[in-house]
A = this chain, B = another copy of it.
Amino acid sequence: MGANTFGEIFTVTTCGESHGPALACIIDNCPPGVAIDEALIQRELDRRRPGSTRFGTPRNEADAVRIISGVFEGKTTGTPIGLIIENTSQRSQDYSEIMHSYRPGHADYTYNLKYGIRDYRGGGRASARETAMRVAAGAIAKAVLTQHYGVKIGGCVTAIGTIYTDRFDPAAALESPFNFADNSKTMQAVLTEYIDNLRVSHDSCGAIIEVRAHGVPVGTGSPVFGRLDATLAHAMMSINAVKGVEIGDGFALARKLGSEARDLIDESGFKSNHCGGILGGIATGQEIVVRMAFKPTSSIMTPGQSVDQYGHCIPDLVTKGRHDPCVGIRAVPIAEAMMALTILDAIMLDTAQCHLVPRAQMYHIPV
């Protein structure tokens, strides 16, 4: 399976460079009979699209998606779904300076060494623009999850640089220009000042995003290498700039005692969810909770020391182009999309193997 395909059954294969003609994806094994149209996909894309908020990149892309196959009279047919987005706002001349240079913190060097050639314009395939297709495919996965399985997925930014919140509130995040879980006036002011300062100082910052899935059927997931924690970690860590992933209480569990960390159960159900809804790699029926850390955007106007492909030093390389001061801000729909793809795939695998297990007749721990 290629590195540009995700999933075992519900598979998504993507292609496209930042400044190439178009982005596309093909989704295979989508269940038939699901109501899908371009508007449904577009709504998710609009949450991610550049130009939608003044706190993101000024590059303005319509990101208009076209369905080219697999949907007939408003329903999925079970055949592969092709999606395409034409690139319209390329300003490749911004990048001619870095044709031979390696921007620090970027994939320029690693692509060049790996492939011996690279499309340097806007980072080519390494650009976060690639994630548009994840969001588009995720919109379809979400539709299947909602229409067939009653699973709901939502997420929000919970930290931007040093500013963080303990809240988890996807509804608030939808209203927030920062997709932040706390959309209070006070927090808006704090974040606005924080980001504006970053712009002035030609710098950027990292972020933390939390996403949750509600209603995932108990039994979803697999043991060993296919653990749901593992596939979720894979999914999230494959998003540009993500450098850490945790499930449930995550790293905090390392410092806890067993007597604190295990989730006890009484007649009213699970009494806590430290495990993030997954035990032994398999969903407990509780909310599935994933958190991930984004590194700060490496593309900043502050000069940095680097080299070119011939080994010449560049003492003050400046990364031009139109960039987000915090890539995490626009990444909530991407993380949600990856969660939707992962969970739907796990549900389909579980169905394949275990659909004859009489789960409806078995005792379910309340959640």
In the bound complex, CA of A246 to CA of B185 (Å): 33
Contact of A224 among B3, B70, B282 (CB under 8 A): B3
Contact A265 B106 (CB under 8 A): no
- Check A364 for interface membership: any CB of B closer than 8 A: yes
The interface residues of chain B lying within 8 Å CB-to-CB of A130 are 223-224
Contact B307 A365 (CB under 8 A): yes
Copies of the protein in its oligomer: 4
The stretch of A45-53, A57-65, A172-180, A295-303 that contacts the partner chain: A295-303
The interface residues of chain B lying within 8 Å CB-to-CB of A294 are 253-254
In the bound complex, CA of A273 to CA of B206 (Å): 17
The interface residues of chain B lying within 8 Å CB-to-CB of A119 are 72, 77, 79
In the bound complex, CA of A124 to CA of B78 (Å): 11
- Check A8 for interface membership: any CB of B closer than 8 A: yes
Interface size of A as a range = 35 or more
Contact of A233 among B206, B234, B260, B348 (CB under 8 A): B234
Contact of A282 among B107, B229, B237 (CB under 8 A): B107
Task: Determine how close the nearest CB of chain B comes to the CB of A80; give it in whole angstroms.
Answer: 4
Contact A3 B24 (CB under 8 A): no
Contact of A256 among B25, B205, B302 (CB under 8 A): B205
Task: Determine how close the nearest CB of chain B comes to the CB of A320; give it in whole angstroms.
Answer: 15
By beta carbon, the residue of chain B nearest A218 is B113
- Check A111 for interface membership: any CB of B closer than 8 A: yes
The interface residues of chain B lying within 8 Å CB-to-CB of A274 are 295
- Check A351 for interface membership: any CB of B closer than 8 A: yes
Contact B265 A307 (CB under 8 A): yes
Task: Determine how close the nearest CB of chain B comes to the CB of A267; give it in whole angstroms.
Answer: 5
Q: Which of A244-272 contact B (CB under 8 A)?
A: 244-267, 271
Most chain B CB neighbours (cut-off 10 Å) among A14, A25, A114, A251? A114
Contact B26 A69 (CB under 8 A): no
Q: List 14 A-B contacts (CB under 8 A).
A: A2-B11, A3-B28, A3-B222, A4-B26, A5-B13, A11-B13, A116-B357, A130-B224, A207-B254, A231-B234, A244-B251, A246-B293, A258-B296, A261-B298
Given A14-B26, A20-B69; 12 other pairs, CB 8 A cutoff? A1-B5, A4-B223, A5-B13, A22-B68, A22-B69, A33-B356, A107-B281, A161-B254, A243-B276, A244-B245, A244-B246, A254-B294
